[in-house]
C-alpha cells in the first residue's frame, strides 16, 4: 500500500500532466464549424479512425467515402480534410464529418468553376422527378433529364455510378442548390470538332458523299464529313415533293451543293436542286398563256389540284376552274391523282414560280349554249326550295338558276312556293343571265293583267269603273278587269269625300264603283285608286258647267245635281 508521501507525488504528477495536456489543446486552436486536417490512424470495416489533435480520436463512417475511389487510396497516415462540428459532445466524443468537409470544399470550388465553366467529375447516384442526382465531389447536384445527353436517352443505366464530366449551369446560394449538365460538356466538345471541320467546308462546294442520317416531312439531315447539314424539302427538287422519305433512304450517299455555312450557329445548308438548271428560267419559250397542254395530276387539295407539266414544273387548277356549273365543287369529285388531263394555261408568274391552269376551259361551255335563250321558254327541274325562292336546273345543260316567289305569279304571293316540291318539272322563261347566274320567271309565260291599262288606254287621272271584290275593315278590294285578275285595294280614306259615306260596311261585293287612277307605275306594279278623287273631279266639273254663282246664291250641290239631271231628262224626251 503506497505511503502518504507517495500518494502526494502521484497527485502532483497527474496535475502536471493535466496542465500540460490542457496547454497542448489550447495551442492547437481547434474551432467548431470549420474544416481541419486529420490523420488516418486506423481503417476498420465500418469506420475510418482519424487523429484531429483533439482529446480523443474521431470516427468517420465508411459510407462517407463511397462516392468515389478515395476509400481505395486511403491508408494509415493519410491526411484528409474533415468538418469539425463539435469538439466535445455530451458523451465526451469529437463530432467530425468527411462528407460535410467535401461538400463545403466543393461548394466553394463550385462557385469558382461556375464563372469559368470548368468541367468537374461527378457520379449519377439516383433518379428524381424531372431528372437525376449527380454527386460532384461529395456535393449532391440536380441534373435535368434534358441535360444528360445531346439527344433523349431511353436508358441511362450505363451512366449510373460511373465517372462523368459535368458543368455547373446554375447555383442558388440561398437554397444551396446546384444544377449541372453533362450535355453542355458533350456539346462543347462537339462544337469544337464542328468548328474545326467547318474550316474545310465552304459555300458553293459540291459534296459527293453526303450521308443521309434522318428524314422528316420538312427535310433531310445529312452528315458531311462529320458536320450535320440540313437539306430542306424545298431544295430537293424544282418541283413539288410530297415526302422526302419517298426519295431517299437512311445511309444513302447524295451529291449536294453547300448553299450556306453559318459560323456562329455551326449550321450548314445543302441543296440538290442547285445542281440542276431552273426549269422556270426559259419557261416563256416553252409554254404560252391561253394554249392547251397535257399533264398529270400529282396532288389534290381542298382548294384545287396540282398538275405536273414537266419535271420540276407544276401548275395549280383552282376550284373555280374545274367545273362550269359549280365554282366551289370539291376537286376530288372531278379529278384524281395520276390522271392524265388537258388544261389551259391561264397565267405564268415567273418570279414566284407559279402557274395558274384551267381544266374547265378545255370542256364545252354550257353558258355559251344558253346565252341566246334569254326571253325564251325552257324546262327546268326543281333542286331546292327556300323560304323565298325556288332553285331549279335546266334539263338540257344542267345549269342552275333562281325563280323568286314574285316571279311565280302576278299576284306575288309567297304562299305560291307551297304549291311546288323538289324534282318537279316546270316551264319557265329565262329573264336574265349575269355573272354566271340565271334568273327565271314563270308568270312571264302568261299575259300580264297590267296590260289592261295599255289596251284600254288608261293612265293616271282616268276614271274607271270597278266591281267590289271584297270588303275589308280598312277599305275594299276591287277588280278592274272582267277576269278578276287585276285586284286593287282602295283605302278607307279614299272611299268617299264625306267621312260618313267612307265606311267600308256600306259597300257590298259585286257593286260597281267609279274610281280615279291616282298612281300608276307598271314597272313597279304599283296602282292606286281613289273614289274620293273621282267625286271631287265630278263636283268640279258640274260647278264649272253651271257656273260659280250657283253656290253664292245659296243653292246646294244637291239642287245643282237635280237641275242638271232634270235638264238631261228633258233633252232625252
Q: What is the DSSP-derived secondary structure letter of residue 172?
A: E
pLDDT band, residue 572 (cuts 50/70/90): very low
| Lowest-confidence pick of 44-58, 85-99, 559-573 | 559-573
Angle at Cα 425 formed by Cα 420 and Cα 429, nearest 5°?
95
Tell me how far the alpha carbon of residue 442 is from its chain's centroid.
46
pLDDT above 80 for 241? no
Burial profile 531-548: b = 16 or more Cβ within 10 angstroms, e = fewer: bbbbbeeeeeeeeeebee
Task: From residue 47, give the alpha-carbon distance in Å to each of 62, 63, 83, 510.
Answer: 5, 9, 16, 131
More confident residue, 113 or 148: 148
> Of 326, 306, 335, 414, which is closest to residue 367 (Cα–Cα)?
326
- Which fold does the domain 366-445 belong to in CATH? OB fold (Dihydrolipoamide Acetyltransferase, E2P) (2.40.50)
Residue the block writes with cell 413539288? 240
Distance of alpha carbon 119 from alpha carbon 211, whole angstroms: 33
For cell 292606286, name the residue: 528
Q: What pLDDT, on the 0 to 100 scale, is given for residue 139?
A: 79
Report the CATH superfamily, name and number, of domain 200-275. Answer: Nucleic acid-binding proteins (2.40.50.140)
Determine the Cα angle at 137 with ends 135 and 143, to 5°. Answer: 30
pLDDT attached to residue 571: 46
Residue 148 has pLDDT above 60, yes or no: yes
Spatial CA neighbour of 520 closest among 432, 431, 456, 444: 456
pLDDT of 487 strictly over 50:
yes
Give yes or no on whether 28-101 and 453-551 have one common fold.
Answer: yes
Q: What are the tens digits of pLDDT across the range 86-140?
A: 776 666 677 787 777 777 777 777 778 788 888 888 899 899 998 999 888 777 8
What pLDDT, on a 0 to 100 scale, did the predictor assign at position 563?
A: 55
Sorted by where each begins, the domain ranges of the chain are 28-101, 117-188, 200-275, 283-362, 366-445, 453-551
Q: Give bridge partners of residue 51 from the DSSP assignment.
A: 39
pLDDT tens digits for 367-380? 888 888 888 889 99
> How does pLDDT run across 320-340, given as a tens digit for each residue?
999 988 888 899 999 999 999
Q: Which residue has the cell 494509415?
A: 76
DSSP string, 197-215: HHTT--TT-EEEEEEEEEE
Q: What share of the chain is helix, strand, coil (3-state, %, to 5)?
A: 30, 35, 35
pLDDT at 555 over 60: no
- The domain made up of 117-188 has a fold known as OB fold (Dihydrolipoamide Acetyltransferase, E2P) (2.40.50)
Range 510-527 average pLDDT? 88
283-362 is classed in which CATH architecture?
Beta Barrel (2.40)
Instruction: Report yes or no: 256 and 207 within 8 Å, Cβ to Cβ.
Output: yes
- Cell numbers at 436, concatenated: 354566271
Mean of pLDDT values over 35-53: 81
Residue 68 forms beta bridges with which residues? none
First to last CA, the chain: 196
- Sign of the torsion angle spanned by Cα atoms 306, 309, 313, 317: negative
Question: Exposed, middle or buried: residue 437 (CB in 10 Å: 0-12, 13-18, 19+)?
Answer: exposed
State pTM to two decimals: 0.47
Please say if the pLDDT value at position 279 is more than 70: yes
Given a cut of 50, whether residue 573 has pLDDT beyond it is no
Spell out a b/e string for 69-79, using b for 16 or more CB atoms within 10 Å of the CB, else e: ebeeeeeeeee
Contacts of 280 (CB under 8 A, 6+ apart): 238, 313, 350, 353
Rounded CA separation 11/186 (Å)? 70
If pLDDT is split at 50, 70 and 90, which confidence band does 550 have?
Answer: very low
C-alpha cell read off for 50: 482519424
Its CATH class, for the domain covering 28-101, is mainly beta
pLDDT beyond 50 at 552: no
Q: Tens digits of per-residue pLDDT, 436-465?
A: 789 999 988 888 888 888 888 889 888 988
pLDDT at site 566: 55
Percentage of the chain modeled with pLDDT above 70: 86
Q: What is the mean pLDDT of residues 285-312?
A: 90
Interval 542-554 mean pLDDT:
59
Q: Tell me the average pLDDT across 532-547.
A: 81
d(CA 507, CA 99): 120
* pLDDT, tens digit (0-9, with 9 covering 90-100), for 190-214: 777 777 777 778 888 888 888 888 8
Q: Using alpha carbons, select from 255, 192, 254 the residue that is nearest to residue 227.
A: 192
**453-551: CATH topology:** OB fold (Dihydrolipoamide Acetyltransferase, E2P) (2.40.50)
Q: What is the mean pLDDT of the chain?
A: 82
So what's the pLDDT on residue 295? 92
Residue 53 has pLDDT above 80, yes or no: no
Task: Quote the pLDDT of residue 109.
Answer: 78
What number is the average pLDDT over the span 251-275? Answer: 83
Joined together, the cell numbers standing for residue 320 give 373555280
Amino acid at each position: 500500500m503506497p505511503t502518504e508521501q507517495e500518494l502526494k507525488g502521484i497527485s502532483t504528477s497527474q496535475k502536471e500532466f493535466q496542465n500540460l495536456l490542457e496547454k497542448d489543446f489550447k495551442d492547437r486552436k481547434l474551432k467548431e464549424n470549420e474544416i481541419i486536417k486529420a490523420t488516418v490512424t486506423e481503417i476498420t470495416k465500418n469506420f475510418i479512425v482519424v487523429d484531429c489533435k483533439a482529446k480523443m480520436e474521431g470516427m468517420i463512417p465508411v459510407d462517407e467515402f463511397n462516392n468515389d475511389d478515395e476509400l481505395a487510396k486511403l491508408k494509415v497516415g493519410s491526411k484528409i480534410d474533415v468538418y469539425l462540428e463539435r469538439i466535445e459532445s455530451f458523451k465526451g466524443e469529437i463530432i467530425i464529418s468527411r462528407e460535410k468537409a467535401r461538400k463545403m470544399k466543393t461548394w466553394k470550388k463550385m462557385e469558382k468553376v461556375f464563372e469559368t465553366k470548368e468541367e468537374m467529375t461527378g457520379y449519377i447516384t439516383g433518379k428524381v422527378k424531372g431528372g437525376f442526382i449527380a454527386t460532384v465531389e461529395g456535393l449532391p447536384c440536380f441534373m435535368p433529364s434534358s441535360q444528360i445527353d445531346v439527344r433523349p436517352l431511353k436508358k441511362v443505366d450505363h451512366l449510373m455510378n460511373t465517372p462523368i464530366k459535368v458543368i455547373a449551369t446554375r447555383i442558388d446560394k440561398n437554397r444551396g442548390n446546384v444544377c449541372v449538365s453533362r450535355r453542355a460538356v458533350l456539346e462543347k466538345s462537339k462544337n469544337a470538332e464542328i468548328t474545326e471541320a467547318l474550316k474545310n467546308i465552304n459555300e458553293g462546294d459540291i459534296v459527293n458523299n453526303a450521308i443521309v442520317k434522318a428524314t422528316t416531312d420538312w427535310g433531310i439531315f445529312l452528315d458531311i464529313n462529320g458536320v450535320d447539314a440540313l437539306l430542306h424539302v424545298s431544295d430537293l427538287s424544282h418541283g413539288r415533293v410530297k415526302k422526302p422519305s419517298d426519295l431517299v433512304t437512311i445511309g444513302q450517299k447524295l451529291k449536294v451543293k453547300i448553299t450556306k455555312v453559318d459560323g456562329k450557329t455551326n449550321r450548314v445548308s445543302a441543296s440538290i436542286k442547285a445542281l440542276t438548271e431552273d426549269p422556270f428560267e426559259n419557261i416563256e419559250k416553252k409554254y404560252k398563256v391561253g394554249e392547251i397542254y397535257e399533264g398529270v395530276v400529282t396532288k389534290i387539295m381542298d382548294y384545287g389540284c396540282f398538275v405536273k407539266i414537266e419535271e420540276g414544273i407544276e401548275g395549280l387548277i383552282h376550284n373555280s376552274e374545274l367545273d362550269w356549273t359549280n365554282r366551289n365543287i370539291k376537286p376530288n369529285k372531278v379529278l384524281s391523282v395520276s390522271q392524265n388531263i388537258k388544261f389551259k394555261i391561264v397565267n405564268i408568274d415567273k418570279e414566284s414560280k407559279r402557274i395558274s391552269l384551267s381544266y374547265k376551259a378545255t370542256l364545252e361551255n354550257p353558258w355559251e349554249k344558253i346565252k341566246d335563250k334569254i326571253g325564251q321558254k325552257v324546262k327546268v327541274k326543281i333542286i331546292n326550295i327556300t323560304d323565298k325562292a325556288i332553285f331549279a336546273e335546266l334539263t338540257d345543260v344542267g345549269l342552275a338558276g333562281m325563280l323568286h316567289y314574285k316571279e311565280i305569279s302576278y299576284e306575288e304571293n309567297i304562299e305560291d312556293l307551297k304549291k311546288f316540291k323538289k324534282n318537279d318539272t316546270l316551264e319557265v322563261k329565262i329573264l336574265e343571265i349575269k355573272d354566271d347566274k340565271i334568273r327565271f320567271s314563270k308568270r312571264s309565260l302568261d299575259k300580264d293583267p297590267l296590260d289592261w291599262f295599255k289596251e284600254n288606254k288608261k293612265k293616271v287621272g282616268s276614271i274607271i269603273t270597278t266591281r267590289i271584290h271584297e270588303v275589308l275593315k280598312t277599305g275594299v278590294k276591287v277588280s278592274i278587269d272582267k277576269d278578276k285578275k287585276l285586284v286593287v285595294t282602295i283605302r278607307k280614306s279614299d272611299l268617299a269625300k264625306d267621312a260618313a259615306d267612307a265606311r267600308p260596311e256600306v259597300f257590298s261585293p259585286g257593286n260597281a264603283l267609279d274610281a280615279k287612277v291616282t298612281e300608276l307605275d307598271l314597272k313597279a306594279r304599283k296602282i292606286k285608286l281613289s273614289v274620293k278623287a273621282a267625286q271631287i273631279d265630278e263636283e268640279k266639273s258640274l260647278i264649272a258647267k253651271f257656273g260659280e254663282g250657283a253656290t253664292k246664291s245659296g243653292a246646294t250641290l244637291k239642287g245643282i245635281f237635280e237641275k242638271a239631271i232634270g235638264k238631261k231628262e228633258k233633252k232625252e224626251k
